[in-house]
Amino acid sequence: MRRTLLAALALVLAAPIASAQIDSATVTGGRIAGTVADGVGVFKGIPFAAAPVAGLRWKAPQPVPSWEGVRRADSYGPACMQAANMLKLMGAGPAVGEDCLYLNVWTAAKSSAERRPVMVWIYGGGFAAGMTGIQAYDGEQFAKDGVVLVSVGYRVGPFGFLAHPTLTREGGGTSGNYGLQDMIAGLRWVQQNIARFGGDPARVTVFGESAGGIAVSLLTAAPAARGLFARAISESGGAFGPTREGAVAGGLLPTLEGAERFGQQFLKRLGASDLASARALSAQQIQAGLPADALAGGFWPNRDGKILPGDQYHRYEAGRFNDTPVLIGTNSDEGGLFAAPGVTPAKFEAQVRAGYGDRADEVLRAYPHDTDARAERAAKDLFRDTTFGWSTWAWASLESGHGKHKAYIYYFDHRTPQSPEGSNHGSEIAFVFRNLTAPALGGAVMQPTAAEEKLSEQMQRYWVNFATRGDPNGPGLPAWPAYDAQTQQAMILRDSPAAGSLPNQPQLHALDDYFRWRRDGAAH
């Protein structure tokens, strides 16, 4: 009887410990306290680097200063400096500033002894905008599905990507890639600290969308990111095209020299005679020097030979990249967000001839444009394929051909009465995060159907399976074949997901010939 009572007492005493969530942790810098809700520990606004202000503006991220006592981690840090209209468009709070290098953690682990897969989210926004603190990026559902979810803030616009000859000398031969260095610093923080939240530092997946997906692509070729993640997911992003110069179609990243010239011109517009006077300006004065368009400005990562050493396509061909499994894809109508309306056959032909040089005729044949309606559709599809689709397809081909791991490619094609021509740019995010009722761009709120809820559950499960073991497949899910050059199969994500050929594959082949021509010309 006594033994039975003792056993029962032991169970009673153990119950609170077994059900407890992680609500505090000691991390780089000091002790933090988060919150717990519905079985998930949430830590917001954790500093992972020193505030890049004053003398640290336009410098690589520096170590985070220590703090005394317990720091509350219950609210998002400020968004990095950007246009106010972008904050409003994305439904973010008004807090914005240069002191913005904070990250957030969601975990359902019950102790630091657990080793759950980790996913690190990199937001999009054209490298001119973006933030972690919006409902669409809330990581609760990922945490409930067994992942430790981290989202990382990084500098954007001129604060994150201004290059200048003086900065290059200060930086030992590099400047203008501060936003990328912020991401790398965040990934280093994850390696050093995520075990305290029940995460496995050996199973880190970096994933992002649009500029965030492009950043993931760049991180796979950045020597400083080697060993910081074990898998990569890119949603509508890749950087395998030519250097950006003039009207060259598909050119995303400038050279360091080109970025320096652009930076010099920007400081001149600000009325800053040198770097010292530019650093003396307020953040608001610098932001005011940009165009009113939230995504304009032209500040992007650059091929500096150090953080980003050379053409990414050639580095993959030479096997000089951070080789991991990849899950990558595009949306069916994401060009609709960017292509200008009112395109006629004549306008479309003029645009193609201006950007595609000697391969313009082949590209024109691949995109029928004989009526105004077909020309407008062609302009949208060509933007989709040149900016997102081809890089994704090339990435899968390069990984499967030159890497040691598998590539999985998808095509998101969920159609609704609001988007009858296909899935818009960024529309997969709500499905991946299972935040279908989060406000979309402009504040629109979805009323999801049962079929949409099921598709969202399937997509998050694919992503979690991939983060867990480098393969999206699992029980109850339609089979997703790895990409190979012979079959070129992809997962078509719609109400009834199924493997098949990419619908835009003929167009991608035409663009592959164009990009090969560009690479051959760059080599001579």
H-run or E-run covering 8: helix 2-19
Q: Which amino acid is at 479?
A: A
* Nearest one of 133, 114, 106 to 203, comparing CA atoms: 114
Sheet containing 24-27: order of strands: 24-27, 30-33, 70-72
101 and 47 in contact (C-beta within 8 Å)?
Answer: yes
Gyration radius of the chain's alpha carbons: 23
Beta carbons within 8 Å of 406's beta carbon, 6+ residues apart: 325, 399, 400, 470, 471, 482, 483
- Residue 443 in tokens: 């504040």
DSSP 217-232: HHHTT-GGGTTS-SEE
| Helix, strand, coil distribution of the chain in percent, nearest 5 | 40, 15, 45
Q: If 0-12 CB within 10 Å is exposed, 13-18 middle and 19+ buried, where does residue 485 land? A: exposed
Catalytic residues: 210, 334, 425
Dist. CA 242–CA 36, nearest whole Å:
47
CA distances from 124 to 72, 121, 128 (A): 27, 10, 9
* Nearest one of 160, 175, 162, 169 to 130, comparing CA atoms: 160
- Residue 108 in tokens: 């359902």
3-state SS, 440-452, equals CHHHCCCCCCHHH
74 and 53 in contact (C-beta within 8 Å)?
Answer: no
Q: Detail the DSSP E strand segments found in 302-356.
A: 326-331
Dist. CA 454–CA 14, nearest whole Å:
37
Q: Fill in the DSSP letter of residue 420.
A: T
234 and 392 in contact (C-beta within 8 Å)?
Answer: yes
